[in-house]
Structures are given as C-alpha cells and as structure tokens.
Amino acid sequence: DGGITQSPKYLFRKEGQNVTLSCEQNLNHDAMYWYRQDPGQGLRLIYYSQIVNDFQKGDIAEGYSVSREKKESFPLTVTSAQKNPTAFYLCASSRSKGESYGYTFGSGTRLTVV
Amino acid sequence: AQSVSQHNHHVILSEAASLELGCNYSYGGTVNLFWYVQYPGQHLQLLLKYFSGDPLVKGIKGFEAEFIKSKFSFNLRKPSVQWSDTAEYFCAVNTGGFKTIFGAGTRLFVKA
C-alpha cells in the first residue's frame, strides 16, 4: 500500500543536539510538508517542498532545516537553535498543490527534549 | 493574516446525539476547505473536502459539511454519532497554492 513513513515514532534529544526526522513517501506525490502539532494550537507549517531540490519556509521555520534531494524523501532537522522543540511532528504529501486533493499524512514523530 | 477558528476545543456527546462542529475562516477570496480526523493512535486522514459546486458535501462515515460563503463557515455535521467517532477533528483552508492552514482542532468524546 502507498503511504508516508515517518521514523522514528519517538525521539528523545538532549539540549544542544541536532536531530533528524525521517519522512519517506511512495505515493509519487510532488509536494511534501512538515507540520508541528502542539495541544490547542492545531498544525503549524514548518517547511514545504513543491519539487525536488526546492523548498520554502512555512510559518515557524526558525530552528529547523530540510532537504529534498529525492522526490520520495523530505527529512527535517531540528537544530539546537529551536527554543522549544518538544512537540509532535507530522509529515504530509500531496499531488501538485494539494488544494483540491488534500494531504496524506504520516503517523508522526514525537520529539521530547530531555 | 489568514486564520481558521474552530469554536469548541472539547465536545462531549452521548451516542445517537447530533453533532455540529463549527469552523470559520478569514479570507475573502476563493477557498478550498477540508475536514480531517485523527482517531486515537491513527494517522490524520481526510474526512471530506469542498473546492467547488454543491456547498453541501458528504464525506466518509456519514459526515457532511456545509460551506456558507457569506458566513465564511464550513461546519461539520453528523445526525447521529457513534462511540467510534471519538477523535480529534481539524478544519483546514487552502487559499490556492501550497499552504493549507489548520484550525486548533476539536476533541470529540462520545459516551457509549
């Protein structure tokens, strides 16, 4: 079955460390997204990518970085510059712009800073 | 700035009760509207969507939503909820392009 795979499911990070969250899709979708989900705040867009080797900042990009070297993969790095990284991170993909099709989501990665 | 407001953060209903979850957005142009659902321990999944045509759209599991342009609203409804509808529901708006804005979510708990 096609879908989005996020790994790991749970991740613990020490303060000052960078960590990378994996997101892989086999849906042949052009666009991929990273959202952060916090209780009571819904989903906030971190970065998105329309095509390979191109990505754009979302609303809360500070302290995060991404790459899109392959169509299937869109890893997110949470850097030590991110002040409050503990959150649930969701990766999504869509055909084209997603405006008519909606998104397919992964199962998420819960990051905790210890 | 564009935003999406969901009126209730928590809703508790008994089985067979009717459901209406409110969603309002702030944007004056053409919109594409979505409701997503996240069941406990599962992925966020698309419940229904509107992008043109009949403003009353039907989704999976008996859910429907009505787009009222004059009120900037896209409320989700179900005539009779079941225990299995316990989940978190998110309204989302796309104004064209790659960015979709999500509401804060409404947690629904259905008592058996």
Q: What percent of chain B shows pLDDT beyond 70?
A: 99
- Tell me whether the omega of the peptide bond preceding residue A8 falls within 30 degrees of 0, making it cis: yes
CB contact under 8 Å between A97 and B45, yes or no, is no
Q: Indicate whether A100 pLDDT > 70.
A: no
Name the minimum distance, in Å, from the CA of B54 to any CA of chain A: 15
Which residue of B lies nearest to A95 if distances are taken between CA atoms? B98
For chain B, say whether A106 makes contact (Cβ under 8 Å): yes
Query: pLDDT digits over B21-71, tens only?
Result: 999 999 888 889 999 999 998 989 999 999 889 999 999 999 999 999 999
pLDDT score, position B51 = 87
Q: Indicate whether A98 pLDDT > 60.
A: no
Q: Indicate whether A75 pLDDT > 80.
A: yes
- What rounded mean pLDDT belongs to chain A? 91
In the three-class reduction of DSSP (H, G, I as helix; E, B as strand; rest coil), residue A97 is classed as coil
Which of B99, B101, B106 would best serve as a mutation to test chain A binding (most A beta carbons within 10 A)? B99
Average pLDDT of the segment spanning B98-106: 89
Supply the DSSP symbol for A52.
T
For chain B, say whether A8 makes contact (Cβ under 8 Å): no
Which residue of A lies nearest to B41 if distances are taken between CA atoms? A107
A42 and A30 Cβ atoms separated by less than 8 Å: no
B48 and B106 Cβ atoms separated by less than 8 Å: no
pLDDT score, position B90 = 96
pLDDT score, position A97 = 60
Beta bridge partners of A4: A25
pLDDT score, position A99 = 59
Average pLDDT of the segment spanning A6-16: 92
Residues 10..69 of B with a Cβ closer than 8 Å to A: which? Answer: 32, 34, 36, 42-46, 49, 51
In the three-class reduction of DSSP (H, G, I as helix; E, B as strand; rest coil), residue B8 is classed as coil
